[in-house]
Structures are given as C-alpha cells and as structure tokens.
Amino acid sequence: MTTHSEQAPRPRRATPEAQPEGVPELRDVEQHLITPAAPAIGRVVETRICTASKKAAGFVRHVSIDVSGTELAGRFRAGQSFGVVPPGLTDRGRPHKLRLYSIASPTRGEDGQGQVLATTVKRTIEEHWDDHTLLLGVASNFLCDLHPGAEVAITGPAGKRFVLPKDPGAHDYVFFATGTGVAPFRSMLLEMLGDPGGPCPSKITLVMGAPYATDLIYHQELTALSQTHPNFTYLTAISRERQDDVDRKLYVQGRLETHAEHFGGLLASQRTLIYVCGIAGMELGVFQGLASLLDAEGLDQYLRGEPEVMGDASAWERRMIPRQLRPTKRVMLEVY
Ligand code: A2P
C-alpha cells in the first residue's frame, strides 16, 4: 500500500485562468457517429455555384447531400463538420484520407427535416511549387464534379467548440469569415434567423472577406437576410479591390476600423461572442484589430497575455496563439 507521504509529487498544473463574464455554455453535440472505418453513403441532391458572380476568380459550389437513412440524419448541429472520403487510391496505392467540410446548413438541414446537409466547396487548383505542374485537390474537385444522384462516402459529425450556445438568444455575435469559412456562419445565421419558431433577436454582425466582389460567397442570400432582419448586419471586406464605401482594399479586420462605432458598442457588451473562420493567419489580424479598437479592459474580455506581450500588438505573431496570446472562452476559432 502506498501511503500519502510516499507518493511521487504530482506534476503541477497551471491554475485555470479566471474567465470573463459572459462565457457561453455551448450546445451539447454528438460526434463521430459515422467513422472512417465504416463510412455511410449520402446522395447529392443539388449543386450550384454560390459566388456572387459565375465569373468569380475561384470555383465555389454549394453542394447538398441527402443523408437520410444514415446516422447523420437529424443529428448534425449548426457549426459542425462532416467527413468526405474521396473514392480511389493515392499515388502510393492507399485509400484517400477523409477531408472535413463545414456544414453550411442549419440543424434542420436544407430540407427542414435534418435529412439534407449542404457544404461549401472551393476547387483547389494550384501549381506545384517545385516543377510548376498542375495540382488539383482530390476531395474538392471530386465533390465539385458530382451531379445530383451521385453517391458520396461520408462520416461525422465532427466538432464541438465551433457551435452556438445552448441559448443562442442569450448572446450577441461578431462573425469573421474569409472564403469558404463562411459556411458555418450561413449555418448559424439560418439557424438563428430562419428558426420556424421565430427569429432570434440577438444582434449579429458578419464580416465576409473575399479577394474580389465577384467572389463573395452566398452574397445575395446574406444581403437578403440582412434586409429582412434589422438585427443582422452584413459587411464585406474585399482584399484586392476598393470597397463601395471606402477607397481602399480591406481584410476583414479592416472593418473594425471603418465601423469602429458599431463594433465598439457591440464588443463592449458582455453578451458578445466572437467567431472566426477561414484562412490561417486571419485570427492574428482580427486580434490586432481588436487591440486597436478596444482599451485594455475591453480587450481582456476576448484576449489575454502577459502585460509585456499585451502592451505591443504590432509585435504579435501567429505562433504566440494560444500560449502567449490566449483567446478567452468568448472567442471561437476555426482556421485552416
Ligand atoms: P488576399 O488573397 O487578397 O491576400 P479565398 O479563400 O477565396 O482565397 O479568400 C480568402 C480571403 O482572405 C482573401 O480575400 C485573402 O486576401 C484574405 N486573407 C489572406 N490572408 C489574410 C489574413 N492574414 N487576414 C485576413 N484576411 C486574409
């Protein structure tokens, strides 16, 4: 028997950081009901270009998949992802690994019954850096090539942190998206604003970033939602062209500057949560934008760090997240 005095000293755990007011209780969600070892079969029911213009620089499709009869039916939640296992083998003769795609539909699905989910897929078309041959992303091009009726091997759902709170109406929201990072926000917006039980009164602001205005994803749908719901503000940030309202190019964080009053008020509230989804690196710019907009007390609601780090936002680097720059539980990040 080991007496207390004989026990090896326990490794010291860092004391959990006291969190700010307004930390959300996130929804309980199910995960991994369908595993890669035994994927289920879904069937494509719709596929359409979902950029503002069909002549956009990138090819982005809204692909809807009927998952009825699988474990995903009725069990995915807004903000979660699902897996796609591309058919065929890799160059080395192994089966392709699954790729995760954000679900762009609300919990009630595209069909209102949770039987059809949609995702937002951008074709990956690049050049190999070493020999400048064409590189086509396996899963994205597979999905974008599919026609209605085609079968897709699917897994999931996945993700438990990038979801809405149990009581969505208890919070207000600032969403930052770049490119297909808008998918979970379409899902959450339709969940909150299109609820058949009545729209959620929360204040919601989405900042959507794209290279050109033609590349804005779900632009018509989001514009229409903002026109019918005064509590939803939709802002765009175009990175390679001037804006309609500002004579310069903008990344999403630039909207914290051009709309400082709007965001200042929203972010000062203890109800407000920040969600960031999209290109890796955008989270740093958003944090630096927050640091310019908010005073130390305001910033402390969303981001923490030692005083010498917090004092100079211009010296922040991405690798400092999450150890030296620690987002609080009022910030949800999904970057890739
Ligand atoms: P850019 O490529 O002009 O530098 P997409 O996924 O369709 O390519 O869109 C991604 C968008 O995110 C582009 O407008 C891109 O701008 C922008 N972007 C790239 N890096 C960052 C960053 N660090 N912070 C915010 N936005 C970024």
CB 299 within 8 A of CB 241: no
pLDDT tens by residue, 51-108: 999 999 999 999 999 999 999 999 999 999 999 999 999 999 999 999 999 999 999 9
Which numbered atom of ligand 1 lies nearest the CA of 280? 23
Are both 230 and 331 inside the same structural domain? yes
Q: Token pair of 68, please? A: 């009825």
Amino acid at 67: V
Q: Indicate if the pLDDT at residue 242 is higher than 80.
A: yes
Share of the chain above pLDDT 70, in %: 96
Rounded distance, CA 135 to CA 255, Å?
A: 34
Amino acid at 137: G
Instruction: Residue 219: give its domain's CATH number.
Output: 3.40.50.80
Residue with tokens 């796609």: 84
Are both 147 and 186 inside the same structural domain? no
* Residue 8 belongs to some domain of the structure: no
Residue with tokens 């130390």: 296
Which numbered atom of ligand 1 lies nearest the CA of 282? 24
CB burial readout 51-84, b (16+ within 10 A) else e = bbeeebebbbbbbbbbbeebbbbebbbbbbbbbb
Are both 284 and 193 inside the same structural domain? yes
Residues 6+ positions from 55 with CB-CB distance below 8 Å = 214
User: From ligand 1's centre to the CA of 177, what distance in Å?
Assistant: 10
The residue whose CA has the least distance to atom 22 of ligand 1 is 282
Domain count within the chain:
2
CB 122 within 8 A of CB 39: no
Band (1; pLDDT cuts 50, 70, 90): very low
Are both 192 and 277 inside the same structural domain? yes
Are both 180 and 153 inside the same structural domain? no
* Residue 10 belongs to some domain of the structure: no
**Beta strands, E only, the chain:** 40-49, 60-66, 81-85, 99-102, 116-122, 125-127, 134-136, 151-158, 172-178, 204-210, 232-238, 272-278, 303-304, 326-327, 331-335
Closest to 179 (Cα-Cα) out of 130, 143, 212: 212
- Judge if pTM exceeds 0.85: yes
The pLDDT value given to residue 196: 83
User: From ligand 1's centre to the CA of 113, what distance in Å?
Assistant: 35
* Residue 52 belongs to some domain of the structure: yes
| Alpha carbon distance, N-terminus to C-terminus of the chain | 50
Are both 223 and 140 inside the same structural domain? no
Are both 249 and 285 inside the same structural domain? yes
- Beta partners for 156? 34
Q: Indicate if the pLDDT at residue 5 is higher than 80.
A: no
Which numbered atom of ligand 1 lies nearest the CA of 179? 6
The pLDDT value given to residue 72: 98
The residue whose CA has the least distance to atom 4 of ligand 1 is 239
User: From ligand 1's centre to the CA of 92, what distance in Å?
Assistant: 33
* Residue 141 belongs to some domain of the structure: yes
Longest dimension (CA), the chain: 75
* Residue 81 belongs to some domain of the structure: yes
* Residue 15 belongs to some domain of the structure: no
* Domain closes at, from 111, 138, 158: 158
CB burial readout 135-160, b (16+ within 10 A) else e = eebbbbbbbbebeeebebbbbbbbbe
Are both 188 and 231 inside the same structural domain? yes
Residues 6+ positions from 217 with CB-CB distance below 8 Å = 50, 51, 52, 60, 120, 179, 180, 182, 208, 210
Band (12; pLDDT cuts 50, 70, 90): low
Are both 193 and 272 inside the same structural domain? yes
**Cis peptide before 307, with omega less than 30 degrees from 0?**
no
Instruction: Residue 47: give its domain's CATH number.
Output: 2.40.30.10
Are both 306 and 186 inside the same structural domain? yes
User: From ligand 1's centre to the CA of 279, what distance in Å?
Assistant: 6
Are both 184 and 83 inside the same structural domain? no
Q: Indicate if the pLDDT at residue 120 is higher than 90.
A: yes
Domain that residue 26 falls in = 20-158
pLDDT tens by residue, 252-284: 999 999 999 999 999 999 999 999 999 999 999
The set of protein residues with a Cβ atom below 6 angstroms from ligand 1 is 58, 178-179, 209-211, 215, 239-240, 251-252, 279, 281-282, 285
pLDDT tens by residue, 100-109: 999 999 999 9
The pLDDT value given to residue 2: 41
User: From ligand 1's centre to the CA of 23, what distance in Å?
Assistant: 29
Are both 184 and 305 inside the same structural domain? yes
Share of the chain above pLDDT 90, in %: 93
* Domain closes at, from 140, 158, 176: 158
Q: Given ligand 1 and candidates 239, 248, 319, which is best to mutate, with the most ligand atoms within 8 Å of its CB?
A: 239
Q: Indicate if the pLDDT at residue 3 is higher than 50.
A: no
Q: Indicate if the pLDDT at residue 244 is higher than 50.
A: yes
Outline where the chain has alpha helix (H): 138-145, 183-193, 219-228, 254-258, 260-268, 282-293, 296-299, 307-310
User: What's the mean per-residue pLDDT of the chain?
Assistant: 95
pLDDT tens by residue, 163-198: 999 999 999 999 999 999 999 999 999 999 998 888
Band (16; pLDDT cuts 50, 70, 90): confident
Q: Residue 79, SS3?
A: coil
* Residue 154 belongs to some domain of the structure: yes
pLDDT tens by residue, 184-237: 999 999 999 998 888 999 999 999 999 999 999 999 999 999 999 999 999 999
Q: Indicate if the pLDDT at residue 154 is higher than 90.
A: yes
* Domain closes at, from 131, 158, 185: 158
